Amino acid sequence: MESHEATPRAVLLSALLHIAIVGFLALATLNCASWQGVTDFLHLPNPVACTKPVQLMGQVIEATLVGPVGAPPPKHSKRAQPANPPPEQRDLPKPELPKPAPVKVLPPPPEHPDIKDQEKVADIAQQKADQQKAQEEKQKQRMAELTREQEADRILKQLAQIKAQSAANQKQIKLAQQKAQQLADLRNTPDNPNANDTVPPAKQAMSGQNGKDNNAYIAALQNAITQNWLRPDNIPDGVVCPVEIIQIPGGQVISAKVLPSCPFNDIGKHSVEAAVLRSSPLPYQGFEDQFQRRITFNFTVMSSQ
């Protein structure tokens, strides 16, 4: 029962609350003048103090608004116009534009150009073309000459190399022949120690230093033996090798023996002995007075050998 009696009371209180809220919002929308009227009507104090508009004493001045918000002036107005127009309506001076520069007008080309000038230009162009062609020909000729010179130099170098190689080969062949001949002479040298006994001993041995009368004979012997001597590689110039030679009248050599004082090695000693045997017969005609059956000849190595 108590719940049924409380429901109408709650609804009533809720309605009064909403009415009070709506009334308060309606009062909040009133301006200062409306508040003043409401408070005066209800004989209540006004909580809001309104500021009264300022009222100036004097003649009313009319003004015209300028701009998009301003209203247009009246069409027929007998009132005085403003002394100064707005800045937008004043007549501003127009800027002076710069004068354009005068345009030079070229004379029209001649309808018929001079034929002589054309011929002159063509001649100059032809001369330049001829000069360029001549320079190109000279350049080609020079390149051809350089190519020929380079080819000639290359051929000469090849010939020099071939010649040097051929000379080296000839020298090697000659050395090989000399060594072969020396070995053959070494094998053919008689080993009989009694070979010297077959010839009667000479009264006096002749050497290369026996006197002035023997100078020509010694020179003849040196020349004959040198022409038949195969010189080894390791023998220097100016070396003297004494060799004992036994011969018979006419210059035929019976034997040749290098003395122990010879500074040559075995191959060099045998080469000297073989040269003496190959030189047989030794010079005899014209040297009969200087002839001796047993002589000691100082064989000298010459630089021309």
pLDDT tens per residue, range 147-205: 888 888 889 888 888 888 888 787 777 666 666 665 565 555 554 443 443 333 333 34
What residue segments make up the domains of the chain, in order of their start? 195-300
Task: Count Cβ atoms below 10 Å from residue 255 Cβ, excluding itself.
Answer: 19
Q: Is the pLDDT of residue 285 over 50?
A: yes
Q: Is the pLDDT of residue 208 over 50?
A: no
Q: What is the pLDDT of residues 136-145, one digit of tens each?
A: 998 898 888 8
Amino acid at 222: Q
C-alpha span between 25 and 48 (Å, rounded): 16
Residue 294 is predicted with a pLDDT of 92
Position with higher pLDDT, 278 vs 52: 278
The pLDDT confidence band at residue 68, using thresholds 50, 70 and 90, is low
Q: What is the pLDDT of residues 82-91, one digit of tens each?
A: 555 555 555 6
N-term to C-term CA, the chain? 170
Position with higher pLDDT, 45 vs 251: 251
For the whole model, what pTM was predicted? 0.36
C-alpha span between 225 and 239 (Å, rounded): 15
Residue 245 is predicted with a pLDDT of 93
Residue 253 is predicted with a pLDDT of 92
**What is the mean pLDDT of the segment spanning 225-241?**
87
Average pLDDT, the chain: 75
Residue 84 is predicted with a pLDDT of 57
The pLDDT confidence band at residue 302, using thresholds 50, 70 and 90, is confident
**Residue 289 · residue 282 · CB < 8 Å:** no
**Residue 280 · residue 253 · CB < 8 Å:** yes
Give CA torsion, residues 152, 154, 155, 159, to 10 deg. 130
The pLDDT confidence band at residue 29, using thresholds 50, 70 and 90, is confident
Highest mean pLDDT: which range of 31-35, 51-55, 235-239: 235-239
Q: What is the pLDDT of residues 82-127, one digit of tens each?
A: 555 555 555 666 777 777 777 777 777 666 556 777 788 888 888 8
The pLDDT confidence band at residue 73, using thresholds 50, 70 and 90, is low
**What is the mean pLDDT of the segment spanning 232-242?**
86
Q: What angle do CA 296, 302, 304 make, to 5 degrees?
A: 145
Domain 195-300, CATH number (from 3.30.1150.10, 1.20.1630.10, 3.40.50.80, 1.10.3080.10)? 3.30.1150.10
Residue 191 is predicted with a pLDDT of 46
Q: Is the pLDDT of residue 133 over 50?
A: yes
